[in-house]
Structure 1
Amino acid sequence: MGAQQGKTRKLTLENDDPTSVIKVSDDVVQRLRCAEAKRRGSSGQAPPQQLHSHQIISNNPPPPFYHYEPTFTSLQIRQEAAEKLRKNDEYWTRRIHDLEKNNEKMRILMEEEYKKAMDEMNSKTSKSPFSEMPCIMNRKKVMECYQQYPNEPMRCAKEVQAFAACVDMKSIKVVENKR
């Protein structure tokens, strides 16, 4: 059954030991030592002795065989990279959402301020001190004069002075009423 030892066998082990050391039984150690002794014997060294589990072959036992698990596999590296990307995406999504919220608050605030300013302007302009246009008669006289003498505007100087005096009087009355 197991008489043929010429074939090389591959063995894959999963190690759950945190020290990353593979533990083998005494029988496996004995078989490995016998195989090593046979190699030495075929190369001209002394014949192997019969080994017992309590005997030591020589003063220099073979060095222990440690099989370490790789610390990172490509799958783990990919998973870590994917996790970092996911966290980065979450961060920027949250950041953009917060900025949009702040922008919306600012927009609402600016609209309210704009409405207040417009209402204030409308209330000021609706309270005109004149219920009607001042000096309408003097204005008509100036316009008629300019139409009658289109090439001689100096002839309308009297009407223009009367209109200017009327406007000055109305302005003085408005200023006095505000005090």
Structure 2
Amino acid sequence: MVDSPRSRSITIVNEDPSRLILVTESVVKRLKGASQAKPQTSRDTLHSVSSGPDISSKKNDTLTAREEELLEIEGYWMDRLQSMDDNHTRMNHLAEKDMERSLADYERKFGNAAAAHPKCFLNIKDIIECYKENPKQTLKCNKEMEAFSECLDNLYVEDCH
């Protein structure tokens, strides 16, 4: 076997001519086949390797077109978000009106439950307070739920007699 120098071939496909590849002077010399007698250190100057004509004007045109396209897309999504927000607000107002109507209808049919049975109403407030204090541990509110249930049972027994 004979020691023969190896030749390496590197092919870089640059599909976007606006992007340059930066290489040091020593890499350029090696690519051109110059001798490596004196390796250089970090003082190597950077060279840009590009294929094709001057691209600076094309790059600016491309950036401007991209910025305009991004602004159009941003405007589209801002309009969509505003539309969704308006729809949500409208639905929320409808739900509030529907709830108020239902409450008025209930009070017209059955009267004000809180005024009729204030003891049980206070139990409901205790339950709500407990749920707020323990949002992920609802079993801690078992005592309040039992008191409310007992209150309702007592009201039922009183109404039957």
The structure richer in helix per residue is 2
TM-score grouping bracket, smaller chain normalisation: 0.3 to 0.5
TM-score for the superposition, normalised by structure 2: 0.36
